[in-house]
Amino acid sequence: VESRTERVAVARDVSGDTAVIDQIELARDLTLAIEREELFLQYQPKVHLRRQQITSVEALVRWNHPTRGLVLPNDFIPLAEESRDIVALTLWTIRRSIQDQKTLADKGHDLRIFINIAGVLLADKRFVRRACALVESSGARLGFEITETSVIRDPEGAIANLKVFADIGIVIAIDDYGAGLSSLAYLKQLPARELKIDKLFVTQLTSSNRDPLIVRSTIDLAHALEMEVVAEGVETQAAMALLSVMGCDMIQGFLISRPINLDALIHFLEDGKYQ
Ligand code: C2E
Ligand code: CA
Ligand code: CA
Ligand code: CA
């Protein structure tokens, strides 16, 4: 495990002192951000291609920083993982998603909400207990998106915790498939119902020779393992048409919608396009 000081040293070499101080400040601010309600969620719909329906949304966290303005997750999730703030952040995300799901249900929209779960949390017994308690006491319909990389350090422990989640009705989705370290041995053992093909293979689907082959064989593999396939990063009609022909089950991407606030999601659901 890389220590914090080592990482800081690396950052200093690469990008100079300002970047390091920046990161330390941001990490310190993050601890307070949750209490100060500076975090908020946006939702991005997934469309089921055959049903032409929105069946679920992914919750994506954003940080409205008092002096820096909008900070995106790639700039603070890694810091949160290192400082352990990821535990509080993710429990907050689960609680907010449960509230928002109730708001949606009151308006007649019954959607599963998927939450990104960092790898470190799959080794954290206290997190697992508290997450399960939130889901069980609310009866919420959630999904957890995890990457295969997060299973590699302690496969037995991580898979056991994923089974605990799956047993209480949380749908497990494998995120960013194909972008990290993939192991068919783990893929077979994970209690996952969805596989999300990384946008790396999707954004250039119709302009590359190889990506369509990779995507098609991934869809076939997932179906053989009885998983539904989500293509993320769908930006064009042409990509959607090709994915549909390939038998992809769901798509997510800017073509359908960018990640949007709850109010905008409600408007989107009510504009009639996917009902
Ligand atoms: P991800 O889970 O792979 O999320 C998808 C990212 O792709 C999102 O970026 C989304 O805005 C973007 N995206 C969606 N559609 C398109 C498209 O058509 N084209 C392109 N080019 N991009 C698209 P975002 O919101 O900046 O999130 C980045 C990453 O931050 C996420 O990647 C996820 O790994 C992480 N993240 C976000 N929220 C959370 C959270 O609550 N907890 C944890 N642990 N990680 C989170
Ligand atoms: Ca995700
Ligand atoms: Ca992803
Ligand atoms: Ca990603």
| Smallest CA separation from ligand 1 atom 14, residue | 253
Q: What distance in angstroms lies between residue 59's CA and the mean position of ligand 1's atoms?
A: 9
| Smallest CA separation from ligand 1 atom 8, residue | 60
**pTM to 2 decimal places:** 0.93
Task: Give yes or no for a contact between 175 and 140, defined as CB atoms under 8 angstroms apart.
Answer: no
Counting ligand 1 atoms within 8 A of each CB, the residue from 47, 232, 260 with the most, and so the one to mutate, is: 232
Contacts of 235 (CB under 8 A, 6+ apart): 203, 253, 254, 255
Ligand sitting nearest the alpha carbon of 253: 1
Indicate if ipTM > 0.85. yes
Per-residue pLDDT of the chain (275 residues; tens, 9 = 90+): 445 544 544 444 455 566 888 888 899 899 899 889 999 999 999 999 999 999 999 999 999 999 999 999 999 999 999 999 999 999 999 999 999 999 999 999 999 999 999 999 999 999 999 999 999 999 999 999 999 988 988 899 999 999 999 999 999 999 999 888 777 888 889 999 999 999 999 998 999 889 999 999 999 999 999 999 999 999 999 999 999 999 999 999 999 999 999 999 999 999 978 87
Q: Three-state SS for 256?
A: coil
Pocket of ligand 1 (CB under 6 A): 44, 60-61, 72-74, 77, 90, 93, 116, 118, 145, 175-176, 199, 203, 232-235, 253-254, 259
Place of tokens 């909008």: 70
| Smallest CA separation from ligand 1 atom 33, residue | 116
Contacts of 148 (CB under 8 A, 6+ apart): 174, 177, 180, 181, 182, 183, 186, 187, 190
Ligand sitting nearest the alpha carbon of 76: 1
